[in-house]
Every structure is written in structure tokens, then in C-alpha cells.
Amino acid sequence: MTGSRRQIVGSRGMLETQTAPNPGGKWAFVFLWLFTMADFGRPEDIFRIPFHFQLIFGTAAALAYLAALISGRVRLLWSRELILVLLLTVWFTLGVPFAYWRTESFEMLLHVWFKTVLGFFLLSQTLTTVDRVRKLLWAIILSELIVTCVSIALSGRAELRVGDRVAGVSAGLLTWNYFGIAVAQICPYLGALYVCRRSPVRTGLLLSTFAALMWMLVLTASRGGFLNVVVSIILSYWFVMRGSARGRIAYVVVLLCVFLSIAGAPGVFFARVQTIWNGSERGLSKVASAAEQSTQGRIFLLGRAIKYTLEYPIFGVGLGNFVNINGAELRRPDAWYATHNTFTQISSEAGIPALVFFLFLLATVVGRMKKVSERLPSDPANDELRLLARATLVSTVSVAFGWFFANLAYDLYSYYSAAIAVGLWAVARQCATARELRPESPRLLRPMARLHGLRHKASF
């Protein structure tokens, strides 16, 4: 993380040396913020226009960052998370020649994964302050609020419904289990921002967003999505909200929103959810029977994914090739589906080494956010950073839970929490460095103080 040293007056009137962050890459972050709004909100789906907002803003962000890098206004920031993503990229690329259908694998690598890598790279390079992390979160929140409200308003349209279930106006995260993952991902951040910010306008936006997301969730009638959100809400209370009276009060409002959403949910929601604990009793209804068939189908696909993982343990069958090889071998209608599980998607399509890299990435994010939330010095100035670290920990675990119900191995949505974790870890190290450089002890005791500071820094 780039930084500059400046002199400030301490509490005792002494000059203190502090490492001040030098964010840099302002325009790269601005375009990345707009890209995030477009990526989650997908205005082209709302307005039905062939205009690629993500491509425009993403390209502008990349060019702006490149210009800042060449001019020296920013420097390349390496992180363990970025290295693991690059290792995944190398492994995916090496596996293309060994894919069942090389053209499909190459197109998935080029048109999906490379975009994800570029987005993750730019996020990890520009999220260098808590303020930027907060602004990025608001971009996600506002875009989800808009697209969810539009979907609810248009939920009566036939093209947005499959039976009694509502798919949503967006082809992005507003589809079945994917929407539940999106809600689970943002829930802890809603709680963290609510606890940190006391503005009535922001509070109203946060509560309105959660209420809209919960109502849309019951309209999708997704069992996996519902379970995912329940897990996220429980973890959000334990790690984010229970530490403050404001958070505990908000949690009561959250539970009220959940109760009202469930109470007013359509019948298809209850018919599908009951199969979670009552799956063995078939024939209860047509909807329940379809839900039970869906469960059995996913168990079947899970077994097939494990089979291909064991048969092709090094490079897998190729990116995006599970559907092709499974359908071609079985020649059954129920075989032409994706794995519906992110972990087996990676292991079957890219091999066990790729799964290992992916799990290391997950463990790195969880471990580092746990350290930041627990070891950051007790200081009111660090409260927001600590709270956001806890929210990122919960968000990452919640998304990982959702990965058991959806295949999102190559989509950028799965890596937003990891990118935020990179930024928060860099800020935490910056705080540790600033603490180390602050001479709070008499001159003869400063060597000992520096030693204590070095030990503290090593803990990060």
C-alpha cells in the first residue's frame, strides 16, 4: 500500500510521525464504482437496451488505473489473495488443451474468467481506504435496492415468472439461488453500515433495502437461497450487531421484516420450503413434487461431478464442460445441467489442484478478517474497520455456504468479498505501521516501544 509520512501533533503536544494513506487511482476507483453499480444492477436488463455498461465502465477503470500506474501515482500492490487468483488463472489456462471441448473451455476462460480476474485485480488495487470500501458497499446496496424494487413492481409480468415463482427482471443475481446468495452476501454489510452510520437517510435506505430483498427472496421461493439468508442473518447478529445497543435494536427490526415477509409469502414458498424437512413425503402437491425432483436431480449431479473429479483429477474436464460431457455420455434430459455446486464445479472442470487454490483463497480471507477483527487495537478510530472486517468474514462464510447450492466458480460476484478483504487487510497493516512509528514513550524507552510495535505488526 502506498503511503506518505507526515507530522501531526499528538495528544501531548509532541510531533508524531504517522504513515498516511495515499489512495491514488481516483478515476480508476470512480469507474470501478460505476462498473459495480452496472454489474449488480444490470440496467440493460431493466430498460431492455443492447448497451454494455459493464464493458464500458470496466474498460475505463482499467485504462485509468494503467495511466496512474505508468505515471507513478499508484504502485502495484501484491496480496496473497491476488496471487492465489493468478495461480487459478494459470491452472485454468494450462487445462484448456486437455478439455473435453477445448473451444468451450477457451471461451469460458476468455469471456468470463479473464473479466473476473480483471475486476478482482482492479478492486484489490483501488480499495485502499475504509472510505472507498464503504462507497463500494453503497454502490452494491443501491443497485440491489433499485433492481429488486423494479422486479417486485413488475412481478406480475408473465416473462418474469416460472409458474408461481418470480425470477426477477435482471439476468444477473436475481435468479433463484443466486439471489439468495446476493442477499446473504450483503446482509452483514447492511448491519455494519447501520451500526457505524447514524444518518436518518442512510438508516432508511438500509432498512428499505433489507425489506425489499426479503420480500423478493420469498417471491423467488428458493430453498437454498432462504437457508443461505437465514445463516447470514444469524452470523450477522453474532459477529456484527450484538456488540452495540443500536445493532441489537436493528436486529429486532430485521427479525420483524423476516416474519412479515414469510407471513405474506405466496403458497409456492411454503410448498417448496417444507420439502427441506418433509422431503420423503411425496405427492403433497405438484409444487412440492417438483421441488423433490429438483433435490434428487442435484444429488444426481453431485455424484456425477465427484465421478469426473476422480476420473480427471489434474485438469478436470475443462471450464464449462461438465454439462457437455455429462449430457453426451448419458444422453438424458436431466444430464444437461450444471453442477449446482461451486466446489464440485471447480474440481470436476479444473481439477483438484484448482480446488486447493480456491480453498486456500477462502481460508486466507476468513483467517485475515478474523485477525483484523480480533487483534486491531481498541481505539474508536478503528471501530469501523473492525466492524467491516467482521462483516466481510460473515459475508465470505455466507457466500461459501451458498456455493453448495449454485455454480459460481468463475463469476465476479463470488470474489467481491475477497477483494474487500484485501483492502481491509491493507488498511489494518497501515494502522499497525502507524502505531509502530508513533513515539509515545520517553527517549530511553523508545527501542522497547519499537520492539513492541514490531511484534504487533507481525501479528498481522
pLDDT digits (tens, 9 = 90+) for 100-138: 999 999 999 999 999 999 999 999 999 999 999 999 999
Confidence bin at 159 (pLDDT 50/70/90): confident
Does the pLDDT value for residue 452 go beyond 70? no
Determine the pLDDT at residue 288.
65
When the pLDDT of each residue in the chain is averaged and rounded to a whole number, the result is 86
Does the pLDDT value for residue 457 go beyond 60? no
Question: Cα(245)–Cα(256) distance, rounded to whole angstroms?
Answer: 17
Q: Are 119 and 58 in contact (CB under 8 A)?
A: yes
Q: At what angle are helices 53-71 and 114-126 packed, to 10 degrees?
A: 50
Q: State the alpha helices, DSSP H only, in 25-165.
A: 26-41, 43-47, 53-71, 80-94, 102-108, 114-126, 130-153
Average pLDDT value for residue range 263-290? 74
User: What is the tens place of the pLDDT at every residue in 177-203?
Assistant: 789 999 999 999 999 999 987 789 999
Q: State the alpha helices, DSSP H only, in 154-285.
A: 177-196, 200-220, 223-236, 245-263, 267-273, 275-278
